[in-house]
Amino acid sequence: MKMNKGNIKAIIFDMGGVIVDLDIEDCKRAFKEYLGYYRIDELIDPCHQKGIYGDLEEGKISGDEFRRIVLQDSDPGALAENVDKAMWHILTGISPYKVEMLKRLSESYDLYLLSNNNPVCLPRAKAIFEDAGIPLEKIFRKCFYSFEMKALKPSKAFYKAVVREIGIPAEQMFFIDDSQKNVDGAIAAGLPAVYYEPGTDLEALINNVLEEGR
C-alpha cells in the first residue's frame, strides 16, 4: 500500500532512535556499575530487545517482575531503584531542532507515537518530553506502547491495531522508524512507513516525504 503523499493527515513516530536519542553502551555500563549485572549485554539492542527485556516491552512481565529477575543476578545488596536508574541511561534527550519540528508539525498534522517501550523507561521518557516543553500527552494525539498493547513491532497485529485506532485510511498516514525490520513490517501490514537513520536530519526526511506528490 502506498501513502497518498498529497493528502497526509497523520504522522506516526517511533520514540527511541527517532525522536529521543539513545546511548546503548552507557546503559550497559550503568547496569554493570550500579548493579553488577552483566547479563545486560545479552538483552539490549538498539531496536529489538531480547529475553526478559523483550518480555517487559511486550507486557509479558511487569516492571516489578523485571526488577526482581535482574536483582537475582546482581551484586548482593543491589537496589530495585538502581535498576530503574540504569535503564534510564538508554534515553539521553531530544535534539532542539526536533522539538521545534514537532511543534510545527502538530499545527498541520495529527501526530502519534508508536514505540516498543516499557513501564520502567516510560517515566524517564515522559520527563524528557516534559523538560523539552512538549509533554507527550499534548504533542501527540495518542501514544501506542508495546507493553500496553501486548505486542512488539514488527508485529502485523500491532500495526493493524494502531491503524484501526487512528481511524483514517492508512494511505493518509505514514510511520517513521529507525529499524528497517520495523519499517518492512509496517509496510507488510498496510501501514506506509519510511526508514530514518539516527543522526541524520529527521526534518529533511519528513519534508521530502510530504513534498513528494504536491
* CATH code of residue 37: 1.10.150.240
Report d(CA 173, CA 169) in Å as an integer: 8
Q: Does residue 53 sit in the same domain as residue 124?
A: no
pLDDT at residue 6 in the model? 67
From the number of C-beta atoms within 10 Å of its C-beta (0-12, 13-18, 19+), residue 83 rates as buried
Using alpha carbons, select from 47, 59, 50 the residue that is nearest to residue 154.
47
Residue 51: the pLDDT is 95
pLDDT value, residue 36: 98
On whether both 110 and 195 belong to a single domain, the answer is yes
- DSSP class of residue 33? I
Q: Are residues 74 and 110 in the same domain?
A: no
101 and 80 share one domain: no
Q: Residue 1: its pLDDT value, please?
A: 53
Which residue range forms the structural domain that includes residue 136? Answer: 5-20+93-211
The answer to whether residues 117 and 191 belong to one domain is yes
How confident is the chain (214 residues) per 10-residue block, as mean pLDDT?
Answer: 75 98 96 97 83 96 98 97 98 98 97 97 98 97 98 96 97 97 97 97 96 62
- The CATH number of residue 113's host domain is 3.40.50.1000
**pTM of the model as a whole:** 0.94
